[in-house]
């Protein structure tokens, strides 16, 4: 089939009605260069100009209304009008530089397979004007099997958005049916790292009525036969007007409109990105990686697994490396012995649910993407990175250590928030002491079992150790998604005793203490339990705690991502949306809040 690259297909029709690109693009494998969207042309009778649907080829629920040369529009506002009585308008202002960037007006947040109505207000020749455009979109295209899961195309509203939360948009990073997985890997079969960690993603955005309002046509972007175009899509975040994420051997940037900004290989001998990227205010990025051809402490050459973090500058040049094999203890196994082997992050094997491994089994594990000790095995499983600008401290979550740790730019550990068991030497002195609200010590066991879990508990196989509200030089606020597997470094009597929670702590970095301030999810029990994945994040614009428990129901074969926001200090969600998974064994990874930032 012929490839269409960087060419607009123009149809002569009457009126300004858009058509989706999806019918033409079906079955077409695209390069990283975008396929231009279809346009509608009406021989000068259009109100403003030509309408390009999916102009850049990767965001089918977007459009650009071309502004002809010689016309000057200012004070532009776009409103994609709601569908039905319960629908939600998406409304935003468009800055002058954005009009120049697109040579037109960007339209974001269309409904799929629908005759959309888009109200545009603008000023021209000193007069305020407006017009409602009709834009027809096509059906959603993920992978064939994913498309068949129509439940994924509509979020289920569990808590109707409270006042002030109606305009929220949630981008869900999910995983499809697993078709066309990568067939390429690293050239070290004895110690392969995580090079084959790959699955076709679904990247989709929902409003607070549960309606799909944006998705990325990732099948036009990835190539299962290309070393640098595969890998799990992870760590996707909004940075200004763009989305940034990593996958396998590269990291990428693309605008909300689908403009491909860049794709960059990981530098040097770094490999196997997964889980997280953190964007610093100076433009540098902190990226979780691994290391190829690494000589471990017994002299063997291995590809490591999820145990390195690097910082790169805005041009992709390496600034700093944190090698956790040298900073921490890769042989600490207290948490690994308590893990549920049925779900080790996205490596899901229901037949192993509830099973654990012994110290001897861990030591005898082959090299590769398996739980085990020592460089070359998945001993750390770093699944989040963030950065404290106040003291140049890297904050990492190590799932397989059930530990949240802060490390300086000098590669020295500042503190460890974890059960005391297994930490030795200088590292043992960095473990924080739990205290209650009155400053009294809480005596937990070496295993991490504490007397009153409503007052204090550690986090277990957690995801996303991020900075909370009102962080300062002495008192560090830590907000964590506590998945809850291996709580107390053991498995409970019944699997249904597990629970997942979002939990906020304050760490006194001078006195080396930690106090639990707030939690949500414990009272919901197993219904809210996600054995893997998920996210928490403090949202300053709404003064709320955002929590997404993304793999509930995983072992029952009916995965649901449960996305909610709780006003800060309260205990009931202001909004809650459930998004159903693609297939059994396919958890959602994370969700994130998206803002139509076209006014920058």
Q: Write out pLDDT tens, residues 256-283.
A: 999 999 999 999 999 999 999 999 999 9
Q: Which of 242, 243, 244, 222 is nearest to 232 (CA)?
A: 222
pLDDT over threshold 80, residue 476: yes
Tens digits of residue pLDDT in 76-94? 999 999 999 999 999 999 9
Q: Summarize pLDDT for 115-135 with one digit per residue, the tens.
A: 999 999 999 999 999 999 999
* Rounded CA separation 34/57 (Å): 5
Residue 400 token pair: 């397989």
Residue 162 burial class via C-beta count within 10 angstroms: exposed 0-12, middle 13-18, buried 19 and up: middle
Where b means 16+ CB within 10 Å and e means fewer, 22-52 reads beebeeeebebebbbbbbbbbeeebebbbbb
Structural contact between residues 502 and 479, judged by C-beta atoms closer than 8 angstroms: yes
Q: What is the pLDDT of residue 352?
A: 66
Question: CA dist 8 to 24, 35, 38, 51, Å?
Answer: 12, 8, 6, 11
Question: For the chain, what are the domain ranges?
Answer: 9-136, 144-593
Count of Cβ atoms closer than 10 Å to residue 111 Cβ: 22
pLDDT beyond 90 at 551: yes
The tens digit of pLDDT for each residue in 11-59 reads 323 233 333 333 333 333 333 333 455 555 444 456 899 999 999 999 9
Tracing tokens 């996303």 back to the chain, one arrives at: 464
What CATH superfamily is the domain 144-593? TolB, C-terminal domain (2.120.10.30)
Q: Calculate what percentage of the chain has a pLDDT beyond 70.
A: 86
**CA distance linking residue 392 with residue 263, whole number of Å:** 27
Tell me the backbone φ, ψ of residue 480, rounded to 5 degrees: -130, 145
Q: How confident is the model at residue 188 (pLDDT cuts 50, 70, 90)?
A: confident
Catalytic residue numbers read: 463
The predicted pLDDT at position 555 comes to 86
Q: Residue 7: pLDDT band by 50, 70, 90 thresholds?
A: very low
In the prediction, which pLDDT does 32 show? 35
Query: What six digits make up the tokens of 194?
Result: 């995580």
pTM over the 0.85 mark: yes
Instruction: Give the pLDDT score at 20.
Output: 33
Higher pLDDT, 394 or 178: 394
For residue 419, pLDDT over 70 is answered with yes
Same fold, 9-136 and 144-593: no
CA distance 126 to 170: 37
CB 241 within 8 A of CB 62: no
Output the CA–CA distances (angstroms, integers) from residue 260 to 164, 191, 237, 255, 591, in the order listed.
33, 34, 15, 7, 21
Contacts of 572 (CB under 8 A, 6+ apart): 566
pLDDT of residue 128: 97
361 or 440, which is more confident: 440
d(CA 336, CA 16): 60
**How far apart are the C-alpha atoms of 388 and 408, rounded to whole Å?**
10
CATH architecture for the domain at 9-136: Sandwich (2.60)
* Mean pLDDT of the chain, nearest integer: 88
- pLDDT tens figures, 354-371: 778 888 888 889 999 889
Mean pLDDT of 479-500: 95
């Amino acid at each position: 089939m012929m490839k269409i690259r960087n060419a607009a297909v123009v149809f002569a029709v009457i009126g300004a009605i858009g058509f989706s690109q999806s019918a033409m693009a079906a079955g077409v494998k695209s390069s990283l260069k975008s396929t231009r969207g279809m346009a509608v042309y009406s021989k000068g009778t259009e109100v403003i100009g030509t309408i390009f649907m999916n102009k850049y080829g990767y965001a089918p629920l977007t459009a650009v209304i071309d502004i002809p040369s010689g016309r000057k529009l200012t004070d532009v506002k776009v409103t994609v009008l709601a569908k039905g009585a319960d629908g939600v308008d998406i409304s935003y202002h468009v800055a002058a530089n954005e009009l120049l960037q697109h040579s037109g007006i960007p339209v974001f947040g269309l409904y799929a397979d629908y005759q959309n109505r888009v109200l545009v207000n603008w000023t021209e020749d000193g007069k305020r004007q407006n017009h409602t455009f009709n834009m027809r979109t096509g059906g959603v295209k993920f992978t064939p099997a994913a498309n068949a899961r129509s439940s994924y195309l509509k979020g289920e509203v569990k808590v109707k958005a409270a006042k002030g939360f109606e305009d929220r948009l949630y981008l869900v990073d999910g995983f499809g049916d697993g078709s066309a997985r990568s067939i390429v890997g690293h050239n070290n079969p004895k110690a392969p790292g995580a090079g084959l960690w790959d699955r076709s993603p679904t990247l989709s955005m929902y409003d607070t009525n549960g309606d799909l309002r944006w998705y990325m046509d990732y099948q036009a972007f990835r190539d299962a036969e290309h070393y640098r175009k595969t890998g799990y899509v992870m760590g996707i975040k909004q940075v200004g007007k763009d989305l940034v994420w990593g996958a396998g051997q590269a990291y990428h940037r693309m605008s909300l409109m689908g403009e491909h900004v860049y794709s960059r290989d990981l530098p040097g001998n770094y490999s196997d990105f997964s889980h997280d990227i953190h964007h610093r205010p100076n433009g540098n990025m902190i990226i979780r990686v691994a290391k190829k051809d690494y000589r471990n402490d017994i002299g063997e050459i291995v590809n490591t697994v999820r145990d390195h973090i690097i910082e790169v500058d805005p041009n992709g040049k390496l600034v700093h490396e944190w090698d956790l094999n040298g900073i921490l203890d890769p042989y600490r196994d207290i948490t690994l012995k308590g893990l549920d082997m049925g779900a080790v992050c996205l490596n899901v094997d229901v037949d192993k649910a509830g099973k654990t491994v012994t110290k001897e089994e861990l030591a005898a594990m082959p090299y590769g993407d398996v739980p085990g000790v020592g460089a070359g095995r998945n001993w750390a499983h770093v699944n989040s990175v963030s950065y404290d600008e106040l003291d140049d401290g890297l904050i990492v979550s190590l799932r397989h250590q059930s530990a949240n740790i802060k490390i300086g730019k000098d590669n020295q550990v500042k503190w460890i928030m974890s059960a005391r068991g297994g930490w030795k030497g200088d590292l043992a002195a960095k473990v924080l002491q739990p205290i209650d609200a009155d400053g009294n010590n809480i005596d937990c066991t070496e295993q991490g079992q504490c007397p009153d879990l409503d007052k204090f508990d550690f986090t277990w196989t957690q995801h996303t150790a991020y900075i909370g509200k009102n962080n300062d030089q002495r008192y560090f606020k830590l907000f964590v998604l506590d998945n809850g597997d291996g709580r107390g470094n053991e498995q409970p009597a019944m699997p249904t005793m597990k629970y997942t929670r979002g939990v906020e702590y304050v760490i006194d970095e001078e006195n080396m203490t930690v106090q639990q301030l707030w939690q949500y999810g414990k009272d919901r029990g197993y219904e809210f339990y996600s054995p893997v994945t998920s996210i928490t994040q403090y949202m300053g614009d709404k003064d709320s705690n955002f929590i997404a428990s993304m793999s509930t129901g995983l072992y029952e074969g009916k995965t649901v991502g449960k996305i909610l926001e709780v006003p800060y200090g309260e205990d009931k969600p202001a909004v809650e949306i459930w998004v159903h998974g693609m297939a059994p064994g396919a958890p959602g990874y994370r969700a994130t809040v998206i803002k139509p930032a076209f006014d920058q």
